[in-house]
A = this chain, B = another copy of it.
């Protein structure tokens, strides 16, 4: 059975949990777009990571579903608001909220998703102290800071590799780190286990974003569910533009021409370099899993990491 099928039972539970919010009939302008976003068929990688992290150290599924739903709702918030800022009109193969409704509605939708995310998190049955709420808040602020860096970088010609890594660390890796960390805490792991799973999430998140940057150029648009080349069109700083400016220097490149960029990447051997870089992050992530208790859930985490490593969308 492939990894997708093996995770199906968790995906179903997560879907149920995320949809357990006020009905769309209740104030339609608010809840209709929220339901719309939550029902788009994302891969649900983040909540699955929460659940597997927690189960791998002996946690209970009925407790883990709450932080799992919370991280997915927080992720959806960031997609809705980022899509407005980035002028993206397609997400997961469907119209984005600010296109289907309008900008004002999309702002409210994102705000509402933050509130619903906190509500789910604060319902976690076996947690009574403020720790998970504090970590969640720190991550939320980090994600906003990362988005601010991303937008800042659009207005400058090049950024250094360190600046790029700082930005994706905040914008993407923080949430995947939180995802595993919350699973480990709600699963009542040891201090060391919590720290290792958090680090696993961070390494995986870094690898995931670097891959994503490459997919923006090389993926098939139908598979990707969003426009190919949209990062380049927005003058975003990605691993691709960062490596290109390192190789080609300040010589102006017409980075809006997808074909020219592909040719440059091939002629400078940049694709292989980027692949090596992601492999380092994936190896670190897998090495951390080897230090965890070995059981069916750690094995699923391992296979899921492999699955992400070989994804084409």
Within 8 A of B (CB), among A139-161: 140-141, 144-145, 147-149, 151-152
Chain B proximity of A114: nearest CB distance (Å): 6
Contact A27 B137 (CB under 8 A): no
Most buried by B among A29, A30, A111, A127: A111
Question: A1-40, CB under 8 A of B: which get 1 and which 0?
Answer: 0000000000000000000000000011110000000000
Q: Please choose the segment from A89-97, A100-108, A275-283, A304-312 that sits at the chain B interface, where 4 or more of its residues have CB less than 8 A away.
A: A100-108
Rounded to whole angstroms, the CA-CA distance of A144 and B115 in the bound complex is 9
Q: In the docked arrangement, what's the CA distance between A114 and B128, Å?
A: 22
User: Interface residues of A, CB < 8 Å — how many?
Assistant: 39
Interface residue ranges of A49-100 to B (CB < 8 Å): 77, 81, 84-85
Q: Are A122 and B115 in contact (CB under 8 A)?
A: no
A119–B141 touching, CB < 8 Å: yes
The answer for the CA separation of A107 and B152 in the assembled complex, in Å, is 15
Q: Is the CB of A130 within 8 A of B122?
A: yes
Q: Does A233 contact B (CB under 8 A)?
A: no
Q: Which residue of B lies closest to A167 (CB)?
A: B27
In the complex, A191 has a CB within 8 A of chain B:
no
Instruction: Tell me the bound Cα distance from A114 to B141 in angstroms.
Output: 9
CB-defined contacts of A145 to chain B, threshold 8 Å: 27, 30
Q: Which residues of B contact A229 (CB under 8 A)?
A: none
Report the Cα distance A15→B107, complex, angstroms: 28
Q: Hey, which chain B residues are within 8 Å of A127, CB to CB? A: 130
Instruction: Give chain B residues whose Cβ lies under 8 Å from the Cβ of A250.
Output: none
CB A30 to nearest CB in B, in angstroms, measures 4
Once A149-B27, A152-B29 are accepted as A-B contacts, the answer to whether A115 and B137 lie under 8 Å apart by CB is yes
**Which residue of B30, B84, B138 is within 8 Å of A107 (Cβ)?**
B84
What's the minimum C-beta distance from A70 to chain B, rounded to whole angstroms?
11
A148 partner residues in chain B, CB cutoff 8 A:
27, 29-30, 108
Contacts of A130 in B (CB 8 A): 122, 127-130, 133
- Residues on the B chain within 8 Å of A29, using CB: 148-149, 151-152
Distance in Å from the Cβ of A117 to the closest Cβ of chain B? 9
User: What's the nearest-Cβ distance from chain B to residue A81, in Å?
Assistant: 5
Q: Which of B30, B104, B119, B134 contacts A85 (CB 8 A)?
A: B104
Decide if A232 is an interface residue (CB 8 Å cutoff): no
5 contacts between A and B (CB under 8 A): A27-B149, A77-B111, A111-B111, A129-B130, A130-B133
**Residue positions of A touching B, CB distance < 8 A:** 27-30, 77, 81, 84-85, 103-105, 107-108, 110-112, 114-116, 118-119, 122, 127-130, 133-134, 137-138, 140-141, 144-145, 147-149, 151-152
- State the 6 A-B residue pairs at the shortest beta-carbon distance, nearest first: A30-B148, A85-B104, A115-B141, A118-B137, A29-B148, A115-B140
A-B contacts besides A85-B104, A116-B141, A129-B129, 10 pairs, CB < 8 Å: A29-B149, A103-B103, A105-B151, A108-B148, A108-B151, A111-B111, A112-B141, A118-B118, A122-B134, A127-B130
